[in-house]
Amino acid sequence: MNANREAVQHVAELVERAKISMLTTMTSTGKHVSRPMAVQDVEFDGDLWFFAYEDSDKATQLRANPQVNVSFSNDKSSEWTSVSGTAEIVHDQAKAEELWSAPLKTWFPEGLDTPGLTLIKVHADSAEYWESSSSKVVQLIGAARAAISGDPDKFPSTNEEVSLGDNPA
């Protein structure tokens, strides 16, 4: 497995562990708007899938400006991930059936028959992630070293940028 493929797989694992994300779109006036979304699937070639209402603000916004950011936070494991890409509205009943899970009935009470139910597919172009030791003791010691030395690089963490999308298999 090449190094980029390993990095892409690592991003997929970070996203899978976080599960809840913040999807950021842009309004017609250029304002960024974020809202929590539950990821339904991660196809890491870099695609993320979400359910939405066809007439929702987010769907309207991404039709006008498909550039989005999806951020993930897993505080329990001290992991943060940011994925940038292009979103599209997808009408695919078979894919919706594949992705559907019972907890979605909270937002879509009639299940797959909910009027206006659609999918959002985010084609991820790039990701950046930050990880720190999950040990609070190691984090505290690292924070103290960074503060005393004035060097934030002394904080024990990893920060990587990963190219997604057109990766070789």
This prediction's pTM? 0.78
Q: What are φ and ψ of residue 38, in 5° steps? A: -95, 125
CA distances (Å), 153 to each of 72, 102, 138, 161, in order?
23, 44, 14, 17
Q: Is residue 31 packed enough to be buried (19+ CB in 10 Å), middle (13-18) or exposed (0-12)?
A: exposed
The correct answer on CATH 2.30.110.10 for the domain covering 3-163 is yes
Give the alpha-carbon dihedral of 135, 36, 130, 140, to 10 degrees: -30
The pLDDT value given to residue 148: 59
Residue-wise pLDDT for 17-63, tens only, equals 887 899 999 999 999 999 999 888 766 667 899 999 999 999 999 99
Domain residue ranges in the chain? 3-163
Highest mean pLDDT among 11-15, 72-76, 91-95, 140-144: 91-95
